[in-house]
């Protein structure tokens, strides 16, 4: 892992990995959405509205994966003081929050025809909304810690670990408690979803995950570049003062 | 020396995580009843809520139980689980996924005669996603088709 501790080495890899992830992700996600929206069958009871699943489920997965990324980076930051960990956490926050919003919006649009309501306060919907607020809180804290000039990434890292408690709660909310939202269709024991829906869904999840990875790499590069520029300006100012 | 500090942080953080997860489990344990979105028929039958209390009832709509009442705009049906069944009346427009043998969440209160009076119906769909072409298959045929990965 410390092989990547050198930001220069990380940048060399990210330079070609980022466009690869983004490009492949966009192609795969578009293909899967095209398959899902135009070629996959309508569902027995839900009819055509089921097609929103190809956006809703990848968004939900990435909303949760984003915070998992923040949590893993936070742990790495706190224990090993890895120089890229804090940057990786900051890079995960915005795309994670965006996908959480997409999940909540598509879920609401789906709930109206499927359940007969835009929103209910059941365990799944509430814990997912809590995740969005956690993202907002984390971004505010991260920005404040950064502004306090090097006082650190420690506070956001602790927040990132504490907030990770919500991730299993989101996942198990539909199993532990009676809820409006149905239990998971895809489990380690198999799929309650017919292959006609499952395959385009899995491919869409792959595509959006690659897009997510590409965005995180791009943001990490941008944050590193920003830090380098700031350091250079500081050195210049010092040289002039001296 | 540096390695020692690293290990110290790892142990400290490990202990903190265990405490955090323990606290979360305690909180979830305390919430295990309150966080449920509805009561199932078994719970309603075992301890019927007072008529004044707004509650939600969730379960499966019993096969062959939906009928229109004489006033023409109300319906009556039965919500069941494996152990109990509760008769329900509802006046209004039902969601399109409200069908017999499927899940429903009814918001309302218990009437004096043991019938649940619903003000609002929400359809609940289950985790099974089945293409329209397979809708006439029986349960066994469906499971077989799913196993074959269609």
Same domain for B60 and B29 = no
Provide the shortest C-alpha distance from residue B114 to chain A (in Å).
22
Close Cβ partners of B26 (under 8 Å, ≥ 6 residues apart): none
A202 touches chain B (CB under 8 A): no
Sign of CA dihedral A95, A97, A102, A103: positive
- Please state, in angstroms and rounded to a whole number, the distance separating the CA atoms of residues A111 and A127: 16
Same domain for B84 and B65 = yes
Q: Tell me the CATH class for A21-181+195-241.
A: mainly alpha
- Please state, in angstroms and rounded to a whole number, the distance separating the CA atoms of residues A92 and A76: 14
Same domain for B59 and B25 = no
Across the interface, do A176 and B28 touch by the CB < 8 Å criterion?
Answer: yes
Write out pLDDT tens, residues B3-12. 678 888 899 8
- Which among B36, B35, B57, B59 has a CA at the least distance from the CA of B48? B57
Same domain for B25 and B82 = no
- Please state, in angstroms and rounded to a whole number, the distance separating the CA atoms of residues B45 and A133: 38
Close Cβ partners of A123 (under 8 Å, ≥ 6 residues apart): A169, A173, A174, A176, A177, A179, A181, B35, B36, B37
Across the interface, do B35 and A46 touch by the CB < 8 Å criterion?
Answer: no
Which residues of chain A carry a pLDDT beneath 50? none
3-state SS, residue B104: strand
- Please state, in angstroms and rounded to a whole number, the distance separating the CA atoms of residues A114 and A103: 16
3-state SS, residue B28: helix
CATH number for position B65:
2.40.50.140
Q: What phi, psi does A203 have (nearest 5°)?
A: -70, -40
Same domain for B103 and B74 = yes
Same domain for B105 and B74 = yes
Tokens of B12: 């400290």
Inside any domain, residue B16: yes
Same domain for B62 and B105 = yes
- Give yes or no for a contact between A220 and A7, defined as CB atoms under 8 angstroms apart: no
Provide the shortest C-alpha distance from residue A65 to chain B (in Å).
19
Chain A residues within 8 A of B103 when measuring between CB atoms: 182
Inside any domain, residue B130: no
- Tell me whether strands B116-124 and B103-110 are parallel, antiparallel or unpaired: antiparallel
> What pLDDT score was predicted for residue B145?
60
Same domain for B24 and B78 = no
Count of beta carbons in the 10 Å neighbourhood of residue B48: 15
Average pLDDT in chain A:
91
Q: Give the residue ranges of DSSP H helices in chain B.
A: 2-30, 41-46, 139-147
- Give yes or no for a contact between A41 and B133, defined as CB atoms under 8 angstroms apart: yes
Write out pLDDT tens, residues A205-234. 999 999 999 999 999 999 999 988 988 999
Which helix or strand (DSSP H or E) is residue A239 part of? helix A195-241
Q: How far is CA B140 from CA A78, A194, B136, B144, B147, in A?
A: 53, 14, 12, 6, 11
Across the interface, do A185 and B132 touch by the CB < 8 Å criterion?
Answer: no
Across the interface, do A120 and B122 touch by the CB < 8 Å criterion?
Answer: yes
- Give yes or no for a contact between B44 and B86, defined as CB atoms under 8 angstroms apart: yes
Tell which of B29, B34, B37, B42 to mutate to test the A interface (max A CBs under 10 Å): B37
- Please state, in angstroms and rounded to a whole number, the distance separating the CA atoms of residues B122 and B57: 10
Inside any domain, residue B129: no
Annotated binding site of B: 125, 129
- Give yes or no for a contact between A207 and A28, defined as CB atoms under 8 angstroms apart: yes
Inside any domain, residue B63: yes
Chain B residues within 8 A of A194 when measuring between CB atoms: 129-131, 134, 145-146, 150
Residue B92 has pLDDT above 80, yes or no: yes
Smallest Cβ distance to B37: which of A178, A184, A198? A178
Tokens of B10: 């790892």
Same domain for B79 and B9 = no
Chain B residues within 8 A of A121 when measuring between CB atoms: 37
- Please state, in angstroms and rounded to a whole number, the distance separating the CA atoms of residues A98 and A110: 18
Of chain B, the percentage scoring pLDDT greater than 70 comes to: 87
Close Cβ partners of A156 (under 8 Å, ≥ 6 residues apart): A74, A86, A89, A138, A141, A142, A145
- ipTM at complex level: 0.80
Across the interface, do A179 and B128 touch by the CB < 8 Å criterion?
Answer: no
Same domain for B55 and B70 = yes
Q: What is the CA radius of gyration of chain B?
A: 23
- Please state, in angstroms and rounded to a whole number, the distance separating the CA atoms of residues A1 and B145: 46
- Please state, in angstroms and rounded to a whole number, the distance separating the CA atoms of residues A204 and A28: 7
Please state the separation of Cα B107 from the chain's center in Å: 12
Residue B104 has pLDDT above 50, yes or no: yes
Inside any domain, residue B75: yes
> Domain span at residue B57?
41-124
Inside any domain, residue B146: no
Chain B residues within 8 A of A185 when measuring between CB atoms: 127-129
Write out pLDDT tens, residues A145-166. 877 655 567 899 999 999 999 9
A43 touches chain B (CB under 8 A): yes
Across the interface, do A177 and B32 touch by the CB < 8 Å criterion?
Answer: yes
Same domain for B111 and B81 = yes
Q: How many domains does chain B have?
A: 2
Same domain for B116 and B66 = yes
* pLDDT confidence bin for B150, thresholds 50/70/90: very low
A120 touches chain B (CB under 8 A): yes
């Amino acid at each position: 892992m410390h092989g990547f501790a050198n930001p220069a080495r990380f940048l060399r890899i990210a330079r070609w990995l980022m466009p690869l992830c983004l490009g492949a992700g966009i192609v795969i996600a578009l293909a899967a959405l095209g398959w899902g929206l135009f070629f996959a069958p309508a569902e027995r009871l839900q009819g055509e509205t089921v097609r929103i699943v190809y956006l809703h489920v990848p968004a939900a997965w990435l909303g949760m994966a984003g915070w998992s990324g923040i949590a893993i980076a936070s742990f790495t930051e706190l224990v090993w003081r890895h120089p890229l960990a804090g940057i990786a956490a900051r890079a995960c926050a915005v795309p994670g929050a965006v996908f959480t919003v997409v999940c909540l919006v598509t879920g609401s649009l789906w709930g109206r025809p499927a359940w007969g309501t835009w929103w209910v306060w059941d365990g799944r919907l509430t814990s997912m909304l809590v995740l969005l607020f956690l993202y907002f809180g984390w971004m505010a804290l991260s920005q404040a810690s950064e502004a306090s000039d090097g006082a650190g990434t420690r506070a956001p890292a602790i927040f990132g670990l504490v907030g990770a408690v919500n991730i299993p709660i989101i996942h198990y909310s539909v199993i532990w408690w009676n809820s409006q939202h149905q239990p998971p269709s895809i489990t380690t024991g198999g799929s309650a979803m017919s292959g006609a829906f499952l395959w385009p869904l899995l491919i869409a999840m792959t595509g959006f995950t690659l897009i997510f990875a590409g965005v995180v790499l791009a943001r990490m590069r941008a944050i590193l570049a920003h830090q380098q520029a700031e350091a250079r300006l500081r050195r210049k100012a010092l040289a002039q003062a001296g | 020396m540096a390695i020692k500090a690293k290990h110290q942080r790892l142990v400290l953080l490990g202990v903190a995580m265990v405490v955090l997860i323990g606290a979360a489990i305690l909180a979830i344990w305390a919430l295990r009843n309150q966080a449920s979105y509805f009561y199932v028929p078994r719970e309603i039958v075992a301890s019927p809520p007072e008529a004044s209390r707004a509650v939600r009832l969730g379960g499966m709509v019993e096969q062959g139980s939906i009928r229109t009442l004489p006033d023409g705009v109300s319906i009556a049906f039965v919500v069941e689980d494996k152990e109990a069944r509760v008769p329900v009346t509802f006046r209004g427009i039902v969601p399109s996924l409200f069908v017999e043998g499927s899940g429903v969440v009814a918001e309302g209160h218990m009437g004096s005669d043991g019938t649940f009076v619903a003000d609002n119906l929400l359809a609940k769909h289950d985790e099974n996603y089945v293409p329209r072409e397979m809708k006439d298959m029986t349960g066994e045929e469906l499971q077989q088709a799913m196993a074959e990965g269609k």
